[in-house]
Amino acid sequence: MSMRDRFIVPPDTAVTLGDHDTRFTAGIKGKKEARKRLDKNIERLAELQYLLWAENRRALLIVLQAMDAGGKDGTIRHVMSGVNPQGVKVTGFKVPTEEEADHDFLWRIHKAVPRKGEIGIFNRSHYEEVLVVRVHELVPRAVWSQRYGQINAFEAHLAANDVVILKFFLHISKDEQRERLQARIDDPTKHWKVNPDDLAERQLWDDYMAAFEDALSRCSTAAAPWFIIPADRKWFRNLAVSEIIVETLEALDMHFPPPTGDVAKLVVE
Helix (H) or strand (E) run with residue 166 in it: strand 163-171
> DSSP for 104-171?
-TTHHHHHTSPPTT-EEEEES-GGGGGTHHHHTTSS-HHHHTTHHHHHHHHHHHHHHTTEEEEEEEEE
Q: What is the dihedral of CA 224, 229, 234, 236, to 10 degrees?
A: -100
Domain parsing of the chain, residue ranges: 3-253
- % of the chain surpassing 70 pLDDT: 100
33: left (phi over 0), alpha (psi -120 to 50) or beta: alpha
56: left (phi over 0), alpha (psi -120 to 50) or beta: left
Tell me, which fold does domain 3-253 have in CATH?
Rossmann fold (3.40.50)
Which tens digits make up the pLDDT trace of 47-92? 999 999 999 999 999 999 999 999 999 999 999 999 999 999 999 9
Which tens digits make up the pLDDT trace of 125-176? 999 999 999 999 999 999 999 999 999 999 999 999 999 999 999 999 999 9
Summary mean pLDDT of the chain: 96
The sign of the dihedral angle between the CA atoms of 51, 254, 166, 1 is negative
Which tens digits make up the pLDDT trace of 96-110? 999 999 999 999 999
